Amino acid sequence: MNTTLNAASAPRIAIIGAGPGGLTCARILQEHGITATLYDGDASRTDRDQGGTLDMHPESGQHALRTAGLLEDFLAEARPEGQQMRLIGRDGRILFDAVPPEADVAGGNPEIDRGRLRALLLDSLKPEAVRWGHRLTRVDPLGDGTHRLHFADGTITEADLVVGADGAWSKVRRQLSDATPVYTGVTFVETGLSDADRRHPGLAELTGDGTMMALDNNQGFVAQRNSGGHIRVYVGMRTDENWHRKAGLDLTDSAAVRDALLDEFTGWSPDLLGFITAADTGYTNRPLYALPVPHTWPHTPGLTLLGDAAHLMSPFSGMGANLAMLDGADLARALVDHPTVDAAITAYERTLLPRSVEAAEGAAEGIDGAFAPDSAAQTLAHMTQQH
């Protein structure tokens, strides 16, 4: 570790957002005696559901966890069986079913629930590292590379480095870039099955131990095994961003949403339609957005981005959380290895920006292939090639 960014003279580092990327960055800095404070809008660590399951890749997510000294803890939580990939035709037939040959905890991309990963990272930090209930409202540059942060609860603080790890609609990004997320043309309606093996054995069997996809003609189902017997389901369709408004649909009316989805998926196998009718967690509308590619910004003293704030892309990249954690690890290492914050940001962004472009281009191709007129054939060819 250099002698500039040590515990006695380290800059004031504010990380906005306690997601996987921001937490990874803070953990690695903590391991090197550098304090960073995370500010998150959630009221507490249990304030909301953290989403589905993640596959951690060796060269990105697992690398970041190793750098953070948490790889063994991750491996104890991971589900290697979750790497199973299954493709189902719209008629309910299994078209492809495979587990990668390296799918064990020592290799491959083992799965972990987002909530469990976040808990692992949070538990590795000092309790005072995260300030909950701090929703950022404004960032004011002070002219010397420092910034004043304003939060919705009236809190005001200043920082020598502000890291925007605040997701798709990042407020920090506004200081660096005019880019805003653009609708991809695809919407997911999320639902789920609780205690699936006991209450929905047929759908549990159809899902398998990992991820099941059924994609055809701009529509599809994605079902993911989570821990605790839960299956998270995404009903996807290429449609208007405001499809529900045009249909006069009240998204809080679960019965009406169910009937609208059944109407959209007329002609699909009754087995697959069970993912709609048997849902017992309600329905959440999730239009998918992505930042323009390439997304870059001019070097700005005292500010940088990581994760979705820097390179929001469709989930069909499989890289979102992995890249966010790699970003966090790379930024932390740059701060440890360089004599000044400005030199660290320069080095970090030199790696981040080209890597982000490549991943985002792949994600755009992925969602366009998954929700296309011939998506079933495209996906089968891709899975066969990969396995």
Task: Place 63 in a pLDDT band, splitting at 50, 70 and 90.
Answer: very high
More confident residue, 317 or 307: 307
Which CATH number is associated with domain 13-80+111-180+291-370? 3.50.50.60
In the three-class reduction of DSSP (H, G, I as helix; E, B as strand; rest coil), residue 162 is classed as strand
Alpha-carbon distance of 189 to 265, in angstroms, equals 13
Mean pLDDT (whole number) for 16-33: 97
Each domain of the chain, given as residue ranges in start order, spans: 13-80+111-180+291-370, 183-290
Write the pLDDT tens digit of every residue in 114-151.
999 999 999 999 999 999 999 999 999 999 999 999 99
- Name beta bridge partners: 182: 290
At residue 382, the pLDDT reads 72
Mean pLDDT of 168-197: 97
The answer to whether 167 touches 309, Cβ cutoff 8 Å, is yes
What local confidence, expressed as pLDDT, does residue 317 receive? 67
* Closest among 21, 355, 315 to 165, alpha carbons compared: 21
* Eight-class DSSP state of 272: H
Q: What is the pLDDT of residues 81-125, one digit of tens each?
A: 889 999 999 999 999 998 766 555 456 889 999 999 999 999 999
Q: How far apart are CA 110 and CA 56, in angstroms?
A: 6
pLDDT digits 0-9 by tens, 209-228? 999 999 999 999 999 999 99
Is residue 71 exposed (0-12), middle (13-18) or buried (19+ Cβ within 10 Å)?
Answer: middle
- Distance (Å, rounded) from C-alpha 95 to C-alpha 78? 27
Report the percent of the chain where pLDDT is more than 90: 82
Is the Cβ–Cβ distance between 121 and 17 less than 8 Å?
no
Q: Whose CA is closest to 5, among 22, 30, 23, 27? A: 30
The pLDDT assigned to 2 comes to 39
Burial (Cβ within 10 Å: 0-12, 13-18, ≥19) of residue 250: exposed
- The share of the chain scoring above pLDDT 70, in percent, equals 94
CATH number for the region 183-290 comes to 3.30.9.30
The C-alpha atoms of residue 226 and residue 194 are separated, in whole angstroms, by 10
Provide the pLDDT for residue 386: 67
The per-residue pLDDT for 168 is 96
pLDDT for res 100: 66
Q: How far is CA 383 from CA 97, 99, 386, in A?
A: 9, 11, 5
Task: Output the average pLDDT for the chain.
Answer: 92
Question: How many DSSP H helices and E strands does the chain contain?
Answer: 13, 17
In which band, very low, low, confident or very high, does the pLDDT at 275 lie, cut at 50, 70 and 90?
A: very high
In this predicted structure, the answer to whether residue 159 has a pLDDT above a threshold of 50 is yes
**Tens of pLDDT along 309-358?**
999 999 886 688 999 999 999 999 999 999 999 999 999 999 999 999 98
- More confident position, 238 or 280: 238
